[in-house]
Each structure stands twice: as C-alpha cells, then as structure tokens.
Structure 1
Amino acid sequence: MSPLVTYTRQPWAENYSEIIDVRSPSEFIEDHIPGAINLPVLNDAERAEVGTIYKQVCPFTARKIGAALVSRNIYQHLSQHFAAKDKDYRPLIYCWRGGQRSGSMALVLTQIGWRVTVIDGGYKTYRAYVRQQLENLPEKFTYRMLCGLTGSGKTYILDKIGQRDAQVLDLESLANHRGSLLGGELQGNLSYQPSQKYFETLLLQKLQSFAPHQPVWIESESSKIGRVYLPQSLWNKMRQASCVEIQLPIAARVQFLLQEYTHLVAHPDILKQKLEKLKYRCGWEKLSQWYQFIDTGAWETLVQDLLDCYYDPIYKRSIKSYFNKAERVLHISDFSDSSIDALLDSLLPNYVSLK
C-alpha cells in the first residue's frame, strides 16, 4: 500500500531529504525557502497559457491542458532528477498555496512509495512565517553599530570582525548592494539585487544563526539599501544601538575607494550615468567637472571631490538624524594589516565566542 501524503504548516520543524519548489522559475527566483530546488510542474509560459485559457475560454479545457503539461513535466523530473533516489528518500514539496501543483507531484511520488510531505498553504504559509519572525526576532539581539564616513572601510572591517568569530550582520552583502548611489554590483550593464521578499528570507536565515547572548556587529545603513528595505523592527533596533566611529585620513579613504570600485573605473560611461542622478543636488556645473575628471582619468581628484561635495555632507546629516552619537571614536592611518589588527584588538578585547 502506498504511503499517504503528509501535510505540515511548520516545515522548519523537521528535516527532509530535499525541499522541492514546484512553482514556475520566475516565482522561485522572486523568493523561495533556503535550500530548496526548483522542479516546476509548469514553467512560466505554460502557467500563463493555462491561466489565459481558464479565464478566456473554459476552466474545464484549461484543466485538461494543464494536466497534460503537468504530467509531461513530472515525467521529465522522474526520468532525470528522481531516477537515482533510494527508497528512504523523503522530500518536502510546496507550490504557491499548497494546492494542485504540489499535490500533483506529491501524488506521483507517493505512488512510487516515497514518504512525501506537502506544506499546507504552500509558499504563502512560509511567507507568513518570515514576516512574523522579522517582526519579533530582531528584538532579541544587542547590536553594535560601526559608523564612519564613506571610504572608512566599514564593510571591510566588518568582514575582519567576522573572521574573529564575532557575530556580523552584513546587510550590504545580503542586499548585493554597497548602500550608495554607486553601490550596485554590475551584472553586464545592470545592477542585480534580490527581491524584497528574498532579501527578507536571507535576512531571517542569518538572524536565526545568531546567539542572543552575543552582540551583533552591523554597519550603519539607511533603512533602504538599493531597492530593498530593512524591516521596521530591525531598523528601530539599529537606531537605538551604540555606535563606534572609524576615522582615517581622506587620502587613505580615496585610495581605498579606488580599489573597491574598479568596476566603475573600467566602465566610465556607466559611472557617468550614475553620477547624472546627482545633477538635481549638485548642479550641472559640478557634474560637468566630474565628467571632465573621468575623461582625463583624474580618478583621485574625482573621488575626493565626490566625498567633499556629496558623500561626506550626506553621511554626516544621516548619522546625526538616525543614529546615536558615537560612544567611541577610533583612528587608523591606513588599511594595513597592523592598523586593522590594532583596531580589532580595541573593538574585541579578549573576545571569546560562546556559541
């Protein structure tokens, strides 16, 4: 006798051989459970086709066509992905609402003899869990804010703090954005960031890895990083946190930024497009001057002028408005190993991880 399908509304409470998202590729890309793989029973074009027929022609016709497409796609997955699975294989399956798409895959797999669990309510159950967790979980931690003007190496220092086994929440890494006008990571000529939903999924996954009895180091950010927003609960805790400010000479900051943003130096046209967005704030005359610096390769002059005229004033106003005054100010002369080690020794004296 074939086993029955099991349903759960708490998939995170158990372990499974594999988590399978049977939604279309575009749905999967927008957001999915961490560790899930995508085995769609309808791809994006097929889903659109069935939906159109359902609304414009006849629901019964749509279900027949949909069933044929689903059967064909499940056959492909059976002959490829599932072919080598042993009898103890135990997958977790979900679709959008936990309905027909996940049910179709689950029915076939249980007929083979595998123990299959389906998320009751599908992805929507998981999404509700993420939202609820992000309302409450950030409140459980004590945060230490790392502040400093643009080019102070906050993200770099944050990474070094993490290498000493301290707890670090790198929001720019999760958002795939460096938190400024020039901060998008280049993918061809575009900046790629996760969707708001997937950013929240990644953020929750990271927060769940932390121990509440240890502080969490985090860089001073605005409530928006590129195109994604921080949960209000986390933003409120960040604004209440104690701050440590990093200071170093502007020449060192300029050199650091030139090393960090080589992708923009290599693509001057893209850099000009990004800087054009500052015309409303800095004026056409200043923008033309920056363009001239780019055309002549005067990179150090360009970076220092951007810091003096735009980034430093913006950052100072932001820090004053949103974050507590720095409890400590630490000075370093450069980003040499000796300077960074001395800084970390001051930030993390006798640090011992208790995880």
Structure 2
Amino acid sequence: MFSNIAVKELIPLSEKKKMVLIDVRSPSEYKNFSIPGSINIPFFNDAERAEIGTLYKQESVEAAKVRGLEIISAKLPEFVQQFKEIEGSKTVFCWRGGMRSRTTATLLSLMDVHVSRLEGGIREYRRWVINQLDQPEAPFKAYVLNGLTGTGKTRILKALEKQGYPVIDLEGLANHKGSIFGHIGVEPNNQKKFDSLFVQQFRELKKSPFVLFEAESARIGKVVIPNWVTELKAKSVQLFIDMPMEERIKEIIEDYRPVEYQAECIAAFQRIKTRMPQDISKKIESDLEAGEFDSAVRLLLEHYYDSRYKHTGLQYPDTQKKVLQVQNLEEAIEAIKRQIPEIQETPAINIG
C-alpha cells in the first residue's frame, strides 16, 4: 500500500530535489495553480472531469463513480506507464487528498509503482503557503531599486540574479510588469500562483544577508504582495536610478513591444487618458495609432509617469536614498554593486 506524507515534510524534500511531485488534477486546475516544480499527469482530463461532475450533481454519487471507473480503466496502461518512467521518489496529490490521488496511489501500488500521497492535497499546501507568508518581519535587510519608469529595474535585477546575487523579482513572480500596460504580451499569475512562487523564492533566500527587489506598490496587477514586504520596502535603502530620457524610451519600447501589441497598448491607454491634459492624451492616442511609439512614450513619461514617481521619491529622507546617475543598464548594475557593503565584502553570493 501507499503511504501518506504531510506538506511540512514534503516541501523540504522537494526543495532538495529528493521528491518528484505529481499533480493528478485536470490540466486546467494544474494551470490555474499548483505546487511549483510539480508535473501534471491528470487522472481525468477537463472534459472527463466535467462529465463526472455533471453525473455527480444530476444523477448520483454512484453513477459518477461508475463512469469514472470506466474512463480510467480504458486508459490505465498508459496512465501507469507515465509514472513508471519517472525516476526517484514520487508523491501524488489532488485537490484535497481525496478520490483522485487515493485511487492513483492504490492503482500504482497494485502495479508495484510506489508513491506517497500528500495529506490534504493542494488545499493543505495552500494553507501552508499562507502560514509561510505570515512573517512578523523580514529575516533579511533589503536594498530597493527605485527610479523613474523605463530605467530597466527589472532587467537589472535579472542580470544581478544571473550573477548570483539574492534577488526577489516581484514582477516576475506576478508575471506582470506593474504598470497599466503590464499585462500586455503575458498571462499574469493569479494570487495563489504568485503566493506559492513567492514562498518558494523566499525560502531559498531567507538565510541571505540581504536581498534586492524593485519598489512596487502593494498591488502588482491583480495580486497583492505580503504586508511585511511593503513594510520592508518603506524602511530600506532606496537606490534611485537616474537615466537619460532617450535610454528610458528605448528600454520601454524593447520591454513592451508596442509594434507587436499596438491594439493592446491603445486599449490600455484608455484607462489613464483622463488623468492628463486633453490635448496631450489626444496626441498620445494619435501617436499610438500611427505607430509613432517613441513620441507616445516620451509624452507618457513627461505628463504622467515621471510626476508620479517624483512624488514617490519625496516620501523618503535623503539619508535613506542614494541617487545613481548612469547612462545605461550596464552602468546601473555596476553602480548598484558599489553601493551595497555586503557585495563589497562578498563579491557573489551563491544561492543555488
């Protein structure tokens, strides 16, 4: 028979690559939210799950069980073979540790494929994530990348992360660029997915002497960042990146790709057009429609984004902020390194 495993025992094994996590829920459930690093071998596909659900509601539990047995019996050899091909220790889970994971584990046991089953399923994992997010305070100090729109803060963070420095990429975890245009060209993560990815990264970095992250509002797209991160941002050193306008425009064009997403950019602009003078908003809209993106971006920066960020800068005393005047991203990366004592003491921090 199979054994059960608690989430608090499972996650450390997964983090050490000693356990393969297998989500047996339907593909749409898996896509919506799962345990980071897990793979999907669905017990029922989306259509089959919908059919079973209809039988359960409209006929009876027994009818749903009979139909479920018919479905899984027809594809059992292929289903089992997928598990046989996975090397190492394995744990299966479904929504609440119920029928799908229990039946999967039982069938695999009969076929001499040994797996564990997550107690309480992904619902219990979600409770664990929420508990992990409930930090009284940050376990590390932070340096916060701040500055006007288009200074490449996210790309700078990614470059520093590649070099081995401890980074929390909040926009990357949200899969959203943080502005009114931030959803364009991507599929933003929901709150559950963001939280699980955040906890994964937090646990990797919690023993680091410091972390770097970008100054974000309490909300990125539709997701809310943990309160203690907002509080950490408010009291940490702010590294304000000051970069020439032309470089910022270039960075925004590369990042948001308006040539590919012209219609989406025009649609997103409608949400903020009333927040600036009418003649300016008309000119921006005209430029977007005509493909004059450099001009549109310049006007957006001058008449909307820059004033908002300059107001943000006034919230911090001079003793808490350092202005880094640079010409491009490469200079910004080196300037940031020079400002952080821990980096001077430890040239690169291995977080792998």
TM-score interval, smaller chain: 0.7 to 0.9
Q: Which moved more, 1:46-55 or 1:100-109?
A: 46-55
SS at match of 1:140: coil
- What is the match of residue 327 of structure 1? 320
Cα distance in 2 for residues equivalent to 1:195 and 1:32: 11
Map Cα deviations across residues 211-242 of structure 1 (whole Å, 9 max, x no partner). Answer: 43411001000111122221223222222322
SS at match of 2:49: helix
Cα distance in 2 for residues equivalent to 1:109 and 1:178: 43
The reply on whether 1:82 has 2:47 as its aligned counterpart is: no
Q: CA deviation at 1:164?
A: 3.8
Q: CA deviation at 1:335?
A: 0.8
Q: Which moved more, 1:37-46 or 1:216-225?
A: 37-46
Cα distance in 2 for residues equivalent to 1:39 and 1:119: 15
- What is the match of residue 193 of structure 1? 188
Distance change (3 Å), C-alpha of 1:199 and 1:340: closer
Q: CA deviation at 1:256?
A: 2.6
Cα distance in 2 for residues equivalent to 1:168 and 1:284: 40
Q: CA deviation at 1:144?
A: 1.2
Work out which of the residue numbers 236, 241, 259 in structure 2 matches 1:241.
236
The reply on whether 1:63 has 2:60 as its aligned counterpart is: no
Distance change (3 Å), C-alpha of 1:109 and 1:138: farther
The reply on whether 1:223 has 2:226 as its aligned counterpart is: no
1:329 aligned partner, one-letter code: K
Whether contact under 8 Å (1:241, 1:324) holds in the other structure is no
Cα distance in 2 for residues equivalent to 1:73 and 1:143: 52
1:317 aligned partner, one-letter code: H
Note the 1:1-355 alignment, pairs <5 A: 4-10=1-7, 11-14=10-13, 16-79=18-81, 81-84=82-85, 89-136=88-135, 139-186=138-185, 191-261=186-256, 263-282=257-276, 284-320=278-314, 327-335=320-328, 337=330, 340-347=333-340, 348-353=343-348
Whether contact under 8 Å (1:97, 1:121) holds in the other structure is yes
Cα distance in 2 for residues equivalent to 1:63 and 1:179: 45
Cα distance in 2 for residues equivalent to 1:332 and 1:133: 38
Unpaired runs of 5+ residues, structure 2, are: none
Q: CA deviation at 1:14?
A: 3.3
SS at match of 1:145: strand
Q: CA deviation at 1:94?
A: 0.7
Whether contact under 8 Å (1:161, 1:344) holds in the other structure is no
Whether contact under 8 Å (2:243, 2:328) holds in the other structure is no
2:311 aligned partner, one-letter code: R
Q: CA deviation at 1:329?
A: 2.6
Cα distance in 1 for residues equivalent to 2:11 and 2:143: 29
Map Cα deviations across residues 81-100 of structure 1 (whole Å, 9 max, x no partner). Answer: 135467xx532011111111
Cα distance in 1 for residues equivalent to 2:332 and 2:200: 33
Q: CA deviation at 1:136?
A: 2.1
Q: CA deviation at 1:246?
A: 1.4
Whether contact under 8 Å (1:42, 1:73) holds in the other structure is no
Cα distance in 1 for residues equivalent to 2:259 and 2:241: 26
Whether contact under 8 Å (2:3, 2:115) holds in the other structure is yes
Q: CA deviation at 1:50?
A: 1.4
Cα distance in 2 for residues equivalent to 1:62 and 1:158: 50
Cα distance in 1 for residues equivalent to 2:152 and 2:207: 27
Whether contact under 8 Å (1:247, 1:329) holds in the other structure is no
Distance change (3 Å), C-alpha of 1:324 and 1:111: farther
Cα distance in 1 for residues equivalent to 2:268 and 2:169: 24
In angstroms, what is the RMSD of aligned CA positions? Answer: 2.5
Map Cα deviations across residues 38-75 of structure 1 (whole Å, 9 max, x no partner). Answer: 11111222222212211221221122112222333433
Cα distance in 1 for residues equivalent to 2:339 and 2:331: 12
Unpaired runs of 5+ residues, structure 1, are: none
Q: CA deviation at 1:338?
A: 5.0
TM-score of the superposed pair, with normalisation by structure 1: 0.87
Whether contact under 8 Å (2:150, 2:248) holds in the other structure is yes
Q: Which moved more, 1:161-170 or 1:172-181?
A: 161-170
Cα distance in 2 for residues equivalent to 1:185 and 1:237: 29
Q: Which moved more, 1:201-210 or 1:251-260?
A: 251-260
Q: CA deviation at 1:340?
A: 4.2
Whether contact under 8 Å (2:324, 2:332) holds in the other structure is no
Cα distance in 1 for residues equivalent to 2:51 and 2:319: 57
Q: How many residues align?
A: 343
TM-score of the superposed pair, with normalisation by structure 2: 0.88
